[in-house]
Amino acid sequence: AQSVTQPDIHITVSEGASLELRCNYSYGATPYLFWYVQSPGQGLQLLLKYFSGDTLVQGIKGFEAEFKRSQSSFNLRKPSVHWSDAAEYFCAVGFYGGSQGNLIFGKGTKLSVKP
Amino acid sequence: GAGVSQSPRYKVAKRGQDVALRCDPISGHVSLFWYQQALGQGPEFLTYFQNEAQLDKSGLPSDRFFAERPEGSVSTLKIQRTQQEDSAVYLCASSLERLGNTIYFGEGSWLTVV
């Protein structure tokens, strides 16, 4: 069965430091990959997505992610974290099939930013 | 509207009560999804509509859960005889069509069953 793993439940970084959030998926073919961010009490906002083509994708708010097929990974990165980036981050996988487009989400990684 | 709109934002229901959660998708969006997000968890798929057709309801946890989208726009998720385990945020999302387009999420309806 398809699954998404975000190994880190909670990460704390200092403001200005670099960030990498990990995401691994289990799926038999190339999936569609997404990163969403959720602030407390808010819905999900799309940061970036990968469908095909260049494996390094750029998103909003200075985020980027790299699809690595050999590692079944889609890690999210940001070179310099801002205090406003504190939120919960969800990796999600989509695929064509009977469900026609539903997404499978990881359990999320909560990001805290130290001043 | 500019985004996916959900109502009510917050609902407290007594155990056994029926609730109805409304979703107003982005105008023109063909696809509509419902997700359930328990505290501390990622969203989990409940059901999917393409226009008025409910093409997938494999994620609905029990027959107490029912969703409809009769005219292909507004959707309602109904939960009958609510139980404490139904307490969660119910997220609605929409997109232009099936996978390949960005899925936009609403802010959710927070349901607490007491």
A46 in contact with B at a CB cutoff of 8 Å? Answer: yes
Q: Which residues of chain A have pLDDT under 70?
A: 96-101
**pLDDT (tens digit, 9 = 90+) per residue, B51-99?**
999 988 999 999 999 999 999 999 999 999 999 999 999 999 998 876 5
Chain B positions with Cβ closer than 8 Å to A: 4, 31, 33, 35, 40-45, 48, 50, 55-56, 58-59, 91, 93, 95, 98-100, 102-108
Closest residue in B to A94 (Cα–Cα): B99
**Number of CB pairs < 8 Å for A and B?**
69
Predicted local confidence at residue A96, as pLDDT: 60
Does the pLDDT value for residue B106 go beyond 80? Answer: yes
Q: Which of B45, B100, B105 sits opposite A51 (nearest CB)?
A: B100
Residue B92 in contact with residue B76, Cβ under 8 Å? no
Residue B43 in contact with residue A105, Cβ under 8 Å? yes
Question: Which residues is A69 bridged to in the sheet?
Answer: none
**pLDDT (tens digit, 9 = 90+) per residue, B22-39?**
999 999 999 999 999 999
Q: Which residues of B touch A43 (CB under 8 A)?
A: 4, 91, 105-108
Q: Which residues of A touch B56 (CB under 8 A)?
A: 98-100, 102
Predicted local confidence at residue A101, as pLDDT: 58
Predicted local confidence at residue B82, as pLDDT: 98
Helix (H, G, I), strand (E, B) or coil at A84: helix
Predicted local confidence at residue A99, as pLDDT: 47
d(Cα A19, Cα A32) in Å, to the nearest integer?
23
Helix (H, G, I), strand (E, B) or coil at B86: helix
d(Cα B63, Cα A4) in Å, to the nearest integer?
27
**DSSP 8-class letter at B60:** -
Whether A105 and B42 lie within 8 Å, measured CB to CB: yes
What is the number of other CB atoms lying within 10 angstroms of the CB of residue A86?
A: 17
Whether A43 and B108 lie within 8 Å, measured CB to CB: yes
Residues in chain B: 114
